Amino acid sequence: MKKDETTIEKKSDVSTFEPKIVAFLCNWCSYAGADLAGVSRFQYPPNIRVIKVPCSGRINPLYIIKALYSGVDGVLVSGCHPGDCHYISGNFYARRKFALLKKFLSYIGIEQERVQFSWVSAAEGARFAQIIEKVVGEIKRLGPLTYFCKD
Amino acid sequence: MKPSEHEIINTVKKLLADKKIDLFIGYEQGTLPLRTSPCFLVNPDDSNKLIWNSFCANNLTVYLSRIMPNGKNKKFKRIGILCKGCDSRSLTGLIREKQIKREDLYIIGISCQGIIDSRKLLPQLNSDEILSIDEDDDSIIVKLKSGEERFKRNHYLYDACLNCAYPTPGEYDMLVRTAKYAPQVSVPDPAVKEFMGKPREERWRIFEHELSKCIRCYACRNVCPNCYCKECFAEQTKPTWFGVTSERSDLLFYHLTRIFHQAGRCVDCGACVRACPMNINLRLFTRMLVDEVKERFGYEPGLSIKEQSVLAAFEIDDKQEFMTEPEKGT
């Protein structure tokens, strides 16, 4: 009974809806970029939960599907700009995987804004804040992801 | 006996007798009409069991990684196998992914005219008893108790066969030609295109509806030559990726991941669709990945042993229009 109430509340009140977003950040660029955003005191919405990974190439598409299944409203994966990967080419491989995954998820009917990918370098604190703002805004507009997660 | 069958039997007999191969995998008549079974031969005298017709649906390459785990088997050092066009693409994938060595195989390729879908043909026979089945270039002749009936071959093919661009194997040691081979161009599947045109909510509704039929028998995985992992994510317990129930979200998780594991690897042989006891249209989703990989990377899996798998390679200037950029002016 209690569970039902919370879902109804979640659905009806889109304006105050605060999405939960998992952000997979690579250790060498995007995580440092997020750190810089913090140190530089750039404001961004507090809806992301950061998970540090060694490289964007470390992201198994399974992790993204698992996150959505576990009840988050969106996923962001961020890594070094192409050519700047600490492991030389991890993000190039990742880019191919992401391209197919994003297309596939939107093909089967998951809104394409739910899963996003970006490049953020360690020097781009402001860019990180802007991207988070954009991602959170888009997912807020979509509302909660209710049709895939475990009940 | 058809000349193609004759040719296969003679070759296999000789190969087994000369100890060129230790095992041959082909087809034999199944116990039900319109069905064939995989057949494993070690004795040259059994070769007469082998058949070839338009009902030889199974993708036999699935057995290779089972018989030769880690690419080795002490008893069967060299295996002969009968391959249609699609099977040979699977095989090429297995060789490229280093599951099996090319030199351990003797491949008898056979140019295929398309396989008949018994699920499409059976309802036409009004549950009459089938006495025998024959075929020619463009029709299937079924002798029923009530008389003989001819069926247009093209109307009863598997969906995967309708759009097949490579019915003749690319990789073989010996090729048996059965039909006039007309090379086709692979084009995006019309069903995928149609599905793509639907609104998002409709697409999700169909996806959910199709896959909610699943009873989690894992036949789609077991029958797929690409699914050779020793431990599948579906059965991992540390960590457990998803629940073992047949609840909607667990079913969707399994299928989403299984289908995506086929990205850049699926050769569209249709084995998963044939194996599914619940008639789930899995091909609607796997085929999208085939088309997308071709459109985006200009790559078709299974055509050559030498080329790199699409996800194990990259180009510096791969398209990246899908990446999120900050809004301008902020």
**Subunit contact B327:A118, Cβ cutoff 8 A:** no
Collect all residues with Cβ–Cβ distance below 8 Å to B194 and sequence separation of at least 6: none
Q: Is B235 on the interface with A (CB under 8 A)?
A: no
Asked whether residue A110 is assigned to any structural domain, the reply reads yes
Pairing of β B105-110 and β B130-135: unpaired
- A103 within some domain: yes
**Do A109 and B293 lie within an 8 Å CB cutoff?**
no
Task: Please tell me whether residues B225 and B273 are part of one structural domain.
Answer: yes
**Looking at the partner chain, which of A96, A106, A107 has a beta carbon nearest the beta carbon of B311?**
A96
B190 shares its domain with B272:
yes
Instruction: Say if A40 falls within a structural domain.
Output: yes
**Exposure class string for B72-107: b at 16+ Cβ within 10 A, else e:** ebeebebbbbbbbbbbbbbbbbbbbeebbeeebbbb
Q: How confident is the model at residue B90 (pLDDT cuts 50, 70, 90)?
A: very high
Same domain, B110 and B171: yes
Contact A74, A115 (CB under 8 A): yes
Q: Is B196 left (phi over 0), alpha (psi -120 to 50) or beta?
A: alpha
Residue B180 banded pLDDT, cuts 50, 70, 90: low
Domain membership of residue A151 (yes or no) is: no
d(CA B84, CA B187): 20
| Burial class (CB within 10 angstroms; exposed 0-12, middle 13-18, buried 19+) of B1 | exposed
Mutate to test the interface with A, among B314, B316, B319 (most CBs of A within 10 A): B314
Structure tokens at A52: 């540090």
The two most distant CA atoms of chain B are separated, in Å, by 79
pLDDT at B1: 73
Residue B241 to residue A66, Cβ atoms within 8 A? yes
Structure confidence by residue, pLDDT tens digits, A95-125: 999 999 999 999 999 999 999 999 999 999 9
Shortest Cα distance from A101 to chain B (angstroms)?
A: 7
Mapped onto helix, strand or coil, the DSSP state of residue B251 is helix
Q: Judge whether A8 lies within some domain.
A: no
Give the pLDDT confidence of B133-151 residue by residue, as tens digits. Answer: 998 888 899 999 989 999 9
pLDDT greater than 50 at residue B198 = yes
**B122 is a domain residue:** no
Q: Domain range for residue A128?
A: 18-142
Partner-chain contact A109 B202, CB within 8 Å: yes
Residue-wise pLDDT for B237-290, tens only, equals: 999 999 999 999 999 999 999 999 999 999 999 999 999 999 999 999 999 999
CATH number at residue B41: 3.40.50
Chain A residue with CA closest to B255: the answer is: A65
Q: Is the pLDDT of residue B327 over 90?
A: no
Q: How far B229 CA sits from the closest chain A CA (Å)?
A: 15
Contacts of B197 in chain A (CB under 8 A): none
Q: Which of A39, A48, A55 is nearest to A116 (CA)?
A: A48
* Pairing of β B23-29 and β A74-79: unpaired
Q: How confident is the model at residue B181 (pLDDT cuts 50, 70, 90)?
A: low
Together in a domain, B83 and B212: no
Q: Which pLDDT value is given to residue B71? A: 87
DSSP strands (E only) in B160-276: 174-176
Say if residue B181 is in the same domain as residue B61.
Answer: yes
Letter for the amino acid at B43? Answer: N
- Residue listed under structure tokens 């229009």: B321
User: Read out DSSP for B172-205?
Assistant: -SEEE--S----------HHHHHHHTS-HHHHHH
Residue A78 lies in a domain: yes
Contacts with A150 from chain B: Cβ below 8 Å: 243, 247, 249-250
Task: Say if B321 falls within a structural domain.
Answer: no
Task: Report the C-alpha gap between B232 and B303 in whole angstroms.
Answer: 26
Helix or strand or coil: residue A116?
strand
What's the burial of A83, exposed, middle or buried (CB within 10 Å: 0-12/13-18/19+)? exposed
* ipTM, interface predicted TM-score of the complex: 0.92
Q: Which of B158, B185, B212 is the last residue of a domain?
A: B185
Percent of chain B with pLDDT over 70: 98
Q: What percent of chain B has pLDDT over 90?
A: 77
- A53-112 residues touching B, CB cutoff 8 A: 61-62, 65-66, 69, 76, 82-83, 89, 92-93, 95-104, 106-111
Q: What is the CATH number of the domain that holds A43?
A: 3.40.50.960
In a domain, residue B140? The reply is: no
Strands laid side by side in the B130-135 sheet? B130-135, B139-144, B147-152
> B197 is written with which tokens?
């045109």
Predicted confidence (pLDDT) per residue in A127-148, tens digit? 999 999 999 999 999 999 999 9
Asked whether residue A7 is assigned to any structural domain, the reply reads: no
The residue range of the domain holding B305 is 186-312
Cβ-Cβ contacts under 8 Å for B17 (sequence gap 6 or more) = B44
Average pLDDT estimate for A22-43: 97
Domain count, chain B: 2
pLDDT of residue B33: 83
User: What distance in Å separates the CA atoms of residue B158 and residue B57, rounded to the nearest whole number?
Assistant: 9
- Whether the per-residue pLDDT at A10 is higher than 70: the answer is no
Number of domains observed in the structure of chain A: 1
Q: In sequence order, what DSSP letters do the residues of B101-121 get, joined into one string? A: -GGGEEEEEE-----B-HHHH
Residues in chain A: 151
B208 to chain A, closest Cα gap in Å: 9
* Dist. CA B277–CA B287, nearest whole Å: 20
CB B59, CB B86: distance < 8 Å: yes
Q: Has residue B220 been placed in a domain?
A: yes
Residue B270 identity:
G
Note which residues in 257-296 of chain B have CB less than 8 A from chain A.
Answer: 257, 259-260, 263-264, 285, 288-289, 292-293, 296
Query: Position of tokens 């060129």?
Result: B20
- Give the whole-angstrom CA distance, residue A104 versus residue B210: 16
pLDDT digits (tens, 9 = 90+) for B3-13: 889 999 999 99
B2 phi and psi angles, rounded to 5 deg: -75, 150
Q: Does residue B327 belong to any structural domain of this protein? A: no
> Does a structural domain hold residue B139?
no
pTM (predicted TM-score) = 0.92
Instruction: Flag whether pLDDT at B80 surpasses 70.
Output: yes
Q: For the residues of B13-40, what is the DSSP string, one character each? A: HHHHHTTS-SEEEEEEE-SSTT-EEEEE
Q: Does A52 touch chain B (CB under 8 A)?
A: no
Q: Cα(B273)–Cα(B161) distance, rounded to whole angstroms?
A: 12
Task: List, in sequence order, every residue forming a beta bridge with B116; answer none if it has no partner.
Answer: B157
Is A70 domain-assigned? yes
